Amino acid sequence: MAESFLTDIKKHFGSGNYEGDEFGGASGTSGQGLPTGTPGNFMFATGIECSYPTIEHGKVRRDLLEECGHYEHWKKDLQLVQDMGLKVLRYGLPYYSIHKGPGEYDWEFADKVMAEIQRLGITPILDLMHFGVPDWLGNFQNPELPVHFAEYCGAVAERYPWVRYYTPINEIYVTAKLSAKDGIWNEQLRSDKAFVTALKHMVAASIMGNQQIAKRRPDCVIVQSESAEYTHELRTERTPHIQLENKLRFLALDLLYAHHPDGEVYQYLHENGMSKEEYDWFMAGEPPGYQIMGNDYYGRNERMILPDGEVLVASDVMGWFNITHDYYLRYRKPVMHTETNIFDPNEAPAWLWKQWVNILQMRKTGVPVLGFTWYSLIDQVDWNRGLEVKEGTVNACGLFDMDRNPRPVAAAYRKLLQEYGQITIIPHGELFEQTTRPATLKVEI
């Protein structure tokens, strides 16, 4: 096994972390700034919960597509998306069960679902890795992950050439933290070095996967879903490690978008196993394609630490608008609200409208907001425990329950669509536009 992920990448793909022209456009295209034309429509979306990490040190696979009944009801689920009047669906193919080995794939389930999505005229944002990897790849400590995952991304883009929107790896920061620092999923490690290792392998995998997608689909749109996090420390004397955590929440996107972190974070990376060669590789440039920064927000993403150390959920103290605005000022990317829900079905309609107020506030500031997602279509299972224990507890956070009956939030979302369904992306200078022209790397606002 290679000591560094760069060894395998250079062997298979060469030394660059992206292939593009001087403007950063996908290989074989000419990047000349943004195309002109009519801005695309705002993307109202939902998603189908598809997490599949392992727990109990790899002995148990959590497959939420199975636990939420999607394998049995996939055709009904897709029809519900259409019946809701939604045009866009965050959809995750089960990577762990499709990719059987190097160059070996089982497309049976994926082919059926993708054909139905295409027939119904739904635009998928195709999620290619969601919290887990195939058993033969082990876990996120494996430096060979970027090469094998990139080949999988290329195979998906080859098989479904009509798909334009992708999330190569969902919530990289959260995946690395829960798998390698909090000891809950997959490798179940608890160290800063393991966290940095998982993070750099996943970001490298996302970059190389993005490259392979762009070779097949030069106008690809990459929606990088990341958790909008913040911890409020309610102490007069701040704790260094908590203040560092508030910086590390940006780390996955810093590496993905070639944004230099501050000196403290750079030192943290160096002390925990990232070589200068690896760091320079990440900072060489951004991936090709149109890049959208997706921010997921749940009330539990925002926390308060009291003077005695007690941790409380801080729902909506800052909220999606304020936290995401910090991310926007850092990266200057078009944004999308890529996930939200609440576990109390009676409070869900109000939560939906509150999140929509956040969207409207962001638009008022001139920030290009491309879409909003209620996640997910169907109730989920065991997310009250972070999937750590397999209890079978139903989390009533879907637009529909496990029997595919509507929750109150479904009616609220329909009402929102009736009122706002025809809004477009607000023009603001030279803005992101959805056209058929090959993508350029940087979106200048």
* Whether residue 23 has pLDDT greater than 60: no
Residue 243 neighbours by CB distance under 10 Å: 12
Q: What are the structure tokens assigned to 171, written together?
A: 């919530």
Query: Average pLDDT, stretch 151-161?
Result: 98
Predicted structure pTM score: 0.92
Torsion over CA: 301, 306, 312, 314 (sign): negative
What pLDDT shows up at residue 146? 98
What pLDDT shows up at residue 115? 98
Query: Average pLDDT, stretch 4-19?
Result: 83
User: How far is it, in rounded angstroms, from Cα 405 to Cα 394?
Assistant: 14
- pLDDT tens column, 422-443: 887 654 433 445 566 665 544 4
What pLDDT shows up at residue 429? 35
- Cis peptide bond N-terminal to 51, omega within 30: no
Q: Where are the domains of the chain?
A: 5-421
Phi/psi for 79 (5° steps) reads -65, -35
The domain made up of 5-421 has a fold known as TIM Barrel (3.20.20)
- pLDDT tens column, 53-69: 999 999 999 999 999 99
- Chain mean pLDDT for the chain: 90
Query: Average pLDDT, stretch 105-126?
Result: 97
With contact defined as beta carbons under 8 Å apart, do 221 and 434 qualify? yes
